[in-house]
Amino acid sequence: MSFEDSEESFLPLVDLDDVAGIIGDLYGISADGVSELKGFSDKNFYLKVAHPELRGENVCTEFVLKITNLEDSRKVTLLEGQTAVMLHLKRQGVKCCRPILNMKGNYMHLVRMKKICNGIKKHGSYIIRLVNYVKGQMMSSLVIDSTLLSRFGVFLAEIHLSLQNFKHDSFKETDDYEFNLSQVVNLSSSKLDALNDDHKQHLSRSVIEAFRTEVLPKCKQLKEGIIHGDFRPENIIIDYTDKSSALFGVIDFGDTIRSYVLFDVAIAIAHSMLHDTENCLNVASLILGGYTSISPLPTWELRLLLTCVQARLIQVLVFCWNRYLELPENADYMLDAERKGGWELVETLQSVSHTDWMRYINEAGK
| pTM recorded for the entire structure | 0.92
In a domain, 2, yes or no: no
Q: Could you tell me the CATH number of the domain that includes residue 99?
A: 3.30.200.20
Which one is predicted more confidently, 334 or 349?
Answer: 349
**Boundary (domain end) residue, out of 111, 132, 153:** 132
The answer on pLDDT for 285 being more than 60 is yes
**Boundary (domain end) residue, out of 132, 161, 196:** 132
What pLDDT, on the 0 to 100 scale, is given for residue 116? 80
Reduce the DSSP state of residue 267 to 3 states and report it.
helix
Residues 151 and 193 in one domain: yes
| Cβ neighbours of 91 (radius 10 Å) | 10
What pLDDT, on the 0 to 100 scale, is given for residue 331? 81
Distance CA(310)–CA(267), nearest Å, equals 9
190-225: pLDDT as tens digits: 999 999 899 999 999 999 999 999 999 999 999 999
Reduce the DSSP state of residue 265 to 3 states and report it.
helix
**Boundary (domain end) residue, out of 105, 132, 159:** 132
Residues 183 and 281 in one domain: yes
112-149: pLDDT as tens digits: 998 887 778 889 999 999 999 999 999 999 999 999 99
What pLDDT, on the 0 to 100 scale, is given for residue 111? 94
Query: What phi-psi label fits residue 40: left (phi over 0), alpha (psi between -120 and 50 degrees) or beta?
Result: alpha
Distance CA(10)–CA(7), nearest Å, equals 10
Residues 147 and 270 in one domain: yes
Residues 215 and 311 in one domain: yes
Structural domain of residue 262, as residue ranges? Answer: 137-362
The answer on pLDDT for 365 being more than 50 is no
211-264: pLDDT as tens digits: 999 999 999 999 999 999 999 999 999 987 555 567 899 999 999 999 999 999
Residues 108 and 143 in one domain: no
Residues 128 and 31 in one domain: yes
Residues 113 and 187 in one domain: no
68-88: pLDDT as tens digits: 999 999 999 999 999 999 999
- Give the pLDDT band of residue 53 (cuts 50, 70, 90): low
User: What's the structural domain count of the chain?
Assistant: 2
In a domain, 95, yes or no: yes
